[in-house]
Structure 1
Amino acid sequence: MSDSDCEDIAPSQPADDNANLPALFWETMPDNPEDHPDYIALKALEEESTPEERAENFKTQGNNKLRIGLKSKNRLLLREAVDMYDKGLGLKCSDTQVNLALYNNRAHVNSLLGNWRSALQDSQSAMQLDPASIKAAFRAARAALKLGEWDVCAQLLQLGLSLEPGAQELQQIQQELAASRKQHEDQQAAQAAAYEAALAPARRLAAALVLKGYRCTLPEVHVGAKKPYVDSDGAMHWPVMLVFPETGQQDVIEDWHEHDLVAEHLDVMFGPDMPPLEWDADQEYSRQRVQLYYLSNAGQPLKQNQLVDALHGQWPDPDPQAGPKRYGEGASHWVAVDEALSLRQVLLQPGHVVPGVPLFWVLARDTDYQARFLAEELRRF
C-alpha cells in the first residue's frame, strides 16, 4: 500500500532516445511523430476504438511513463503520466474499474509530485467508485494530513481502519496526525500566552484609567511612543499635546502629573525667564494673555476592552457616531480651561473626553483670531 517518496525524484533529465522504441513506449514526443509508421497505426487504432479501450490505452501509457519516470527519477515523465491519466478520465468511459485505476494512479503520481490537493481529490473520487479501496483511503488520509486538514484526515483514517483495522500505514498516519495536532495546540497556546503577556501593560493601564474616572476616545494625536502611566504612588502621568492653531505649531509636555496645576505649567512655558516664541513676532502669546481650550465631547468614550486595544496600538472597531458632533445632544464646543485647576480636574470636567492624550488648543486672548476661532469661522471639527 505504501507509495514512493517524491524526494527521491530528481529534476527533469533528458529522456532516452525514442529511436528504438515503439510509439506506445515513447518517453517524449519527437518533432515529427507522423513520420513513424507505428505512431500512425496507433493513432488510427485510437480513432477506431471505443472510449473504454482508449481510456485503457491512456492508462497503459501513463503507467509506462510512471514506471520509467520512477526508474530514471525524471519528474517530467511523472507530469506526462498525469497528462495521460487526465486524458483517460476525460473520456468519461463507462468502465468503473478503468476509471478507478486512473484516479488511483493519478493520486499516486500527484502524491509523488507533492500535489497534495489534487492527490486528495483523486483519492476521494476513487473512494466514491470503490468505498472499500484501502489504497484510496490511505492516500486520501496522507494528503489531508499534508494539507493540515486534520478533521478530514481523521474521518478518512476512521474509514480506512474500519476496512482494515490492522493497517500499519494508516496507524502511522494516525500517530502523525496526533503529533501534528499536539504541536499545533502547543504553538497556539504559546502564541496566546505571548499575546496576553504583551497585552498585560495595556490592560493594567486601561483599568487604572477607568478606575480614576477618565474617559478616552479614539486617538486623534500621538506623541511618539509616549503613553500615560501610573507611578509608584498611584498617580497618573500624562503626555499632553498643545496646539497653536493660528500658526500650526505644536508643543508636547511629555510628563504632566495629574495633580499639577495648569497654571504651574503655563508659568514655566510662558514665564518671564523664557524667550519669546520664534514665530510670535508681536509677542501676543505672553503669560498674561495665553488661554487654553479643549474640545468637549471629542468622541464616543471607549469601553475598557476597546481602550486596551487602543493602548496596545490597535485600532478599535469604529463606531459611526464616534466622532465629535456639531449639532444636537452631546454637540462639541470649545471650553476654556480654568488654569487654577489641576490636569485631573480639567480632564474630569463634564463632556471632557480625552482623544488618546490630552489635547489643548492655545490662543492669545483679545485677538481677532481668537474671536474667529471661537465663533467657529475656523472650523476645527
Structure 2
Amino acid sequence: MASSAQQHESDDDMDEFMDKFKTLEYKNAFSKDNWEEEFDKVPMFMKSLPDEIDPNKYPELACIQSIIHSEDRSPEEQVKCLKNEGNDFFKEKNYQKSILCYTAGLQKKCGDQELCTVLFTNRAAAHFYLGNMRSALNDAAAAKKITPGHLKALIRGAQCCIELRNFSEALQWCDEGLKVHPTDKKLQELRAAADKHRRAAERDARKAKVKAKKLHGEKEALLAAIKDRGIKFLQSAKRCGSDDEDEDEGSPAVMSQLSLDGISSQEATGAQVFQDEQGSLHWPVLFLYPEHQQSDFISAFCESSCFVDHLIVMFGEELPPWDVDRKYLIQNLQLYFEDEEKETLYQVNPETPLLEVLQHKRFFVKAGSPSFIVLVTGSSFWKQFISGKKIRGL
C-alpha cells in the first residue's frame, strides 16, 4: 500500500499533466473555422456523395469504395453494392450517376435474374426522370423480358408509351400487367388515361382528315377557277423571244400542273388569292409608286371591282404623307402593268375591272400577287420612267 507521501506525489503529477493538457491542442481535431466542411468528409455523416472521389481528400470514402468494388467479392455482392450505390444517387436525384451505377451492375452479368430485373427497372426510372423516354421504355422491356410479370417494369413501360404518345402500345402494357395484377390501381389508372388519350387522338385525326379533305377540295376548286379564267403566272409562262403578241403566251399543260404552293404570296404578304361563296376570286394586289419607293397593298381585291374603287380610297379625301408636293390626285394618275421581257408598259384604264387585266395575254401574276405601277402624268419622273419603253393600251 502506497504511503501518504507517495499518494501526494502522484496527485501532483496528475495535476501537472492536466494543466499541461489544457494548453495543448489535439493535432487531428477539426478546426474551428471549417469544422462543418471537415465533418461532411466523414462517410457516415455525408449529406451527399461528391462528384469525384479523390483519395487524398476523401480517404475514408475511397477505402469504402475499394472494398465495395473489390474483385475479391462475388459478382452478386458487387452488383448489389452497385445497385445500392445507384439507389443512393437516385434518392439524391442524381439520375445520371445512378444510371452509371446500374449500368456497371448489369455489365457484371452476375446471372441473378431477379437482381438484373431490378437494375433494368431502376435504370428505366432514372431515364424516365431525365426525359429519356425511349431509353426508359427499352429498359422496361428488358426487365419485362426477364421477369414478365414484374409490376414496376409494366407500370414504367406504360408510362413511357403514354409520354411517347403511343397510346395503343400503352394499353397493351396495361392489359398485360392487369392479367397478372388485376387489382393494381396504378395500372388501372394508366389504362384509363391511355384509353382517353387514344380516343382523343383518334378524334383529332378524324377532324384533321376532314379538314384536309375540305382544304384540298377548296384548293382544287380555286386552281380550276384560275385555269378557267386563263390567268397566267410568271413561273408557268412559256415565253418565246418573238415580239409577236399573238403567240401563245401561257402553256395550258403547265397551268394544269399549277399548285397553290407555286402561286401563293402568303409568306411575303400574309395573304393569298381565294374564292368566295359566289365563286368570285379575290386577289392580293400591290400598287407601286417608284418615284417615292412606296407601295400600297390590297389584301382582297375582288376580280369584278375596278381600280378606281381603290384609288378613290387611297387618294381621295386625304393624300399620303409621302406626297409632299400634293400631286397624287386621282385625275393626275396613270396606271400601268409592265411586261419586263418586252420592255413594254401597258396602260390600264382605272375604270377597268381587275379580271379583264388579269386575262390580258401579256399579263403574268408574279409571286402570287398582281402588281401595278402608279405614276403622275407629265411629271419629270414619269418622263424618265417611260423613256425607252413601249407604251400600249389594253
Residues 1-381 of structure 1 mapped to structure 2, 5 A cutoff: 21=44, 28=49, 32-35=57-60, 39=64, 42-43=67-68, 46-62=70-86, 65=88, 75-76=92-93, 82-108=99-125, 116-131=133-148, 133-161=150-178, 164=180, 166=182, 168=184, 169-186=186-203, 206=222, 210=226, 213=229, 215=231, 218=263, 241-250=286-295, 291-295=334-338, 326=341, 334-337=344-347, 339=349, 341-355=352-366, 356-362=368-374, 367-374=383-390
Post-superposition Cα deviations, 1:83-133, rounded to whole Å, max 9, x if no partner, equal 532331243445444322321333356567876554323211212334454
Post-superposition Cα deviations, 1:178-206, rounded to whole Å, max 9, x if no partner, equal 11223334556677889999x89x97995
Cα separation, partners in 2 of 1:333 and 1:18, compared to 1, 3 Å:
same
Give the TM-score, by structure 1 length.
0.55
Q: CA deviation at 1:50?
A: 4.6
Q: CA deviation at 1:207?
A: 8.2
Give me the whole-angstrom Cα distance separating, in 2, the residues matched to 1:335 and 1:245.
Answer: 14
The one-letter amino acid paired with 1:139 is R
Q: 8 Å contact 2:222–2:275 — kept in the other structure?
A: no
Q: 8 Å contact 1:267–1:287 — kept in the other structure?
A: no
Cα separation, partners in 2 of 1:368 and 1:188, compared to 1, 3 Å:
same
Cα separation, partners in 2 of 1:58 and 1:334, compared to 1, 3 Å:
same
Q: Secondary structure at the match of 2:387?
A: helix
Q: 8 Å contact 1:124–1:140 — kept in the other structure?
A: yes
Cα separation, partners in 2 of 1:175 and 1:374, compared to 1, 3 Å:
same
Cα separation, partners in 2 of 1:344 and 1:156, compared to 1, 3 Å:
same
Q: 8 Å contact 2:280–2:302 — kept in the other structure?
A: yes
Q: Secondary structure at the match of 1:292?
A: strand
Give me the whole-angstrom Cα distance separating, in 2, the residues matched to 1:221 and 1:115.
Answer: 38
Q: Secondary structure at the match of 2:165?
A: coil
Give me the whole-angstrom Cα distance separating, in 2, the residues matched to 1:52 and 1:367.
Answer: 96
Q: Secondary structure at the match of 1:294?
A: strand
Post-superposition Cα deviations, 1:2-53, rounded to whole Å, max 9, x if no partner, equal xxxxxxxxxxxxxx9896959xx9964698542479727725x713235444
Cα separation, partners in 2 of 1:51 and 1:295, compared to 1, 3 Å:
farther
Give me the whole-angstrom Cα distance separating, in 1, the residues matched to 2:124 and 2:313.
Answer: 79
Give me the whole-angstrom Cα distance separating, in 1, the residues matched to 2:328 and 2:40.
Answer: 95
Give me the whole-angstrom Cα distance separating, in 2, the residues matched to 1:253 and 1:36.
Answer: 76
Aligned-residue CA RMSD in angstroms? Answer: 5.7
Give me the whole-angstrom Cα distance separating, in 2, the residues matched to 1:232 and 1:146.
Answer: 43
The one-letter amino acid paired with 1:127 is K
Q: 8 Å contact 1:238–1:258 — kept in the other structure?
A: yes
Give me the whole-angstrom Cα distance separating, in 2, the residues matched to 1:36 and 1:250.
Answer: 76
Instruction: For structure 2, list consecutive stretches of 5 or more residues without a partner in the other structure.
Output: 1-38, 234-262
The one-letter amino acid paired with 2:360 is Q
Give me the whole-angstrom Cα distance separating, in 2, the residues matched to 1:336 and 1:141.
Answer: 69
Q: 8 Å contact 1:223–1:252 — kept in the other structure?
A: no
Give the TM-score, by structure 2 length.
0.53
Cα separation, partners in 2 of 1:138 and 1:204, compared to 1, 3 Å:
closer
Q: 8 Å contact 2:78–2:105 — kept in the other structure?
A: yes
Instruction: For structure 1, list consecutive stretches of 5 or more residues without a partner in the other structure.
Output: 1-15, 297-323, 327-331, 376-381
Q: Secondary structure at the match of 1:372?
A: coil
Give me the whole-angstrom Cα distance separating, in 2, the residues matched to 1:79 and 1:230.
Answer: 57
The one-letter amino acid paired with 2:117 is L
The one-letter amino acid paired with 1:294 is F
Cα separation, partners in 2 of 1:209 and 1:280, compared to 1, 3 Å:
farther
The one-letter amino acid paired with 2:64 is Y
Q: CA deviation at 1:153?
A: 1.6
Aligned length: 309
Give me the whole-angstrom Cα distance separating, in 2, the residues matched to 1:225 and 1:114.
Answer: 38
